[in-house]
Structure 1
Amino acid sequence: MSETVQTFEKIEDIEIRLLLEALFHRYHYDFRSYAMSSVRRRLRQAREQLGFPTISAMQERALHDPAMLPQLLRYLTVQVSEMFRDPTYFRAVREKVVPHLKTYPSLKVWIAGCSAGEELYSFVILFREEGLEDRTLFYATDINPEALAQAEAGVYDIDRIRLFTENHRLSGGRTSLSDYYHTGYNRCVFDKSLRRNVVFSDHSLVTDQVFGEMHLVSCRNVMIYFDRALQDRAIGLFRDALPRNGFLGLGAKETLRFSAHEGSFRAFVREEKIYQRTDP
């Protein structure tokens, strides 16, 4: 790597850290503990696609124009998901976790980092098929207001339905996914009855605290973008939200290994990254 390139990258890293500080102090969105490699990649993409010569120029606009914030959030928050993503995870929840949940008269489920709602609707449909929906309150949280609005709308491109349907089948679905949506204008709209027991709320794993006791927390493919300290903070929040024997589900590339809270859990379905809290 040439000295010129090294100098450019050092300057760029300074610009990125200043931008993250600006977002925190101006708008109270804290991305300072996100993995630098991911943030760098996303902000470079934002700079190029939004037409700014430098990240410093993007920072200046963000400080003085609040309309810039939603545009940056689209790049800095992860909005890539699908219904019943990793179907074996949902099959494990259906076959191994649900029998335990059926012993409770009422349930609370937290979908942390719900993005545009695909995972939320997957869980609601699964719980309806297993006879648990009526006794369950679902909390769908994210830091991106636009993502929450999309999740609450429950509208997706129709060309995604084939994948959603196949994932649902592989997850052990007991009905047809088409029972839960209608189509029109190249969109599919999921039935509003799926949202009757859902609370949508802004919540940051970086700065906010636990807001209630949950029987199941699912936070998948979110912590891979955090540094180690922030991962520990998030896992600590999930630990505090779960009672003894409560369940935590993570993404395929996430783990509790090396976490300060690892001793509070046991691997319940190790291959699917489903854990159960064991300490009092």
Structure 2
Amino acid sequence: MIPVALTIAGSDSGGGAGIQADLKTFSALGVFGTSVLTAVTAQNTRGVTAVETLPPAIVAAQIDAVLGDFTVGGIKIGMVSSEPVIRTIAERLRAHGRRAVVDPVMIATSGDRLIDADALEALREELLPLADVLTPNLPEAALLLGTEPAASEEAMLEQGERLLALGPRAVLMKGGHREGPDSVDLLVSNSSLLRLAFPRVETTNDHGTGCTLAAAIAAGLAKGLDLESAVREARLYLQAALAAGAAWRLGSGRGPVHHFHALWPKAGQDVS
């Protein structure tokens, strides 16, 4: 049977993040991708200039259309920018008896905030308890907890445990915002702790890294991997995508990673 994954997220007109990055990731990893659009954004490598959130009813209809027809093995939730949409997604997932990889996309790589202030509590209340794994970067974890970003692995673990208490089965604390030769992530659950350390890739082409990683985890789950294996394989995929795309010249800001690094010729030429 062909593995199928679903992304519930916003679009990125620049193609580096959001729905576009998720579908590229699914395809690169041999998974058939389906999608539910939550918002349309006008953005590129320099930032986000406009966001239009879709009505909750059409978001619900998309979820029902996909889950009522496809055998979906992994679900990823990305950008959900309004309280009504968040509550609608949670209600439909509960109705279908499903959980998801929840990537709390609240701050873009450019620094633009992507979520309404009144949606933050709904995200905590509604989506965190439905998460197989929550995948915040350090600023997002801090925003969810109302604190400062973790400055050490000890603080990452402490914040991961606090987030775990809010309902997800596991929390992947992503350490890419810290300094140092290695980028360290911590997968925290009630029964285990997995530390993943990779050499930091020196690149400005890191737009959509969070979307890509969460989508890759969902792809792994769709293929039947257990969570730790899915996270490990997803992190290896992202590491290779970052390294392969480091020399790209796409746009004039923070470019995307190379989702199809295993299929395309090596990067290096100017493709702007």
TM-score range, shorter-chain basis?
0.3 to 0.5
Answer 1 or 2: higher relative contact order, Cα 8 Å, separation at least 6. Answer: 2
Compare the two structures and name the one with the higher strand fraction: 2
TM-score normalised over the length of structure 1 = 0.31
Larger Rg: 1
Compare the two structures and name the one with the higher helix fraction: 1
TM-score normalised over the length of structure 2 = 0.32
